[in-house]
A = this chain, B = another copy of it.
Amino acid sequence: MTLTRSLLLGTALTIATTAAAAADMKPEDAIKYRKAGYSFMSWNMNKIKAMTVENPDSFDAKQVAAAANAIAAIANSGMGALYIPGTDADVGNQTTRVKPELFTDKEGVKEVAVKFNQAANALAKAAESGDKVVIAQAFKETGASCKACHDKYRKD
């Protein structure tokens, strides 16, 4: 899948999934699923970090590719659909660190979301190359795109 196609797909998914499948989703489930997505990406980011930055001797191209594919596939899965009404604060047994701005600053959110989506897909592409230096750079850019969103839309 090309990067452009992934991006278009990501945007389309956000809108379409909201309409189609989120109609009967409970707010606490939406929070649970989006936290699960970020958490699972975090595990895979940690693995790539370990194998490229912290302990490059442990570099394993197949493991890095599998981790990067998981991150990209989660990024491409339309998580925007999980920011439904009623998910801007803790609900049920689910806590959230999201800031209210995420639900109002449409342009700003789109910007960080597109950048993250681009970076995650670029990381998966870099991982295919098996080149440690290329992967380390793409990893750094992906991490920066995560942080850009956290800084703006996540409470500490």
Chain A residues near B (Cβ < 8 Å): 9, 12-13, 16-17, 20-21, 32-33, 35-37, 39-40, 42-44, 46-47, 50-51, 55, 58, 60, 62-63, 66-67, 69-70, 72-74, 76-78, 82
The secondary-structure label for the interface of chain A is helix
A47 to B40, CA, bound (A): 19
Residues in B neighbouring A77, C-beta threshold 8 A: 44, 66-67, 69-70
Residues in B neighbouring A51, C-beta threshold 8 A: 20-21
* A73, B63: Cβ atoms closer than 8 Å: no
Residues in B neighbouring A35, C-beta threshold 8 A: 36
Kindly provide the distance from the CB of A53 to the nearest chain B CB, expressed in whole angstroms: 12
Taking CB as reference atom, which chain B residue is nearest A12?
Answer: B62
Residues in B neighbouring A82, C-beta threshold 8 A: 43
A51 to B81, CA, bound (A): 15
* B76, A69: Cβ atoms closer than 8 Å: yes
Residues in B neighbouring A76, C-beta threshold 8 A: 66, 69-70
Kindly provide the distance from the CB of A13 to the nearest chain B CB, expressed in whole angstroms: 6
* B60, A20: Cβ atoms closer than 8 Å: yes
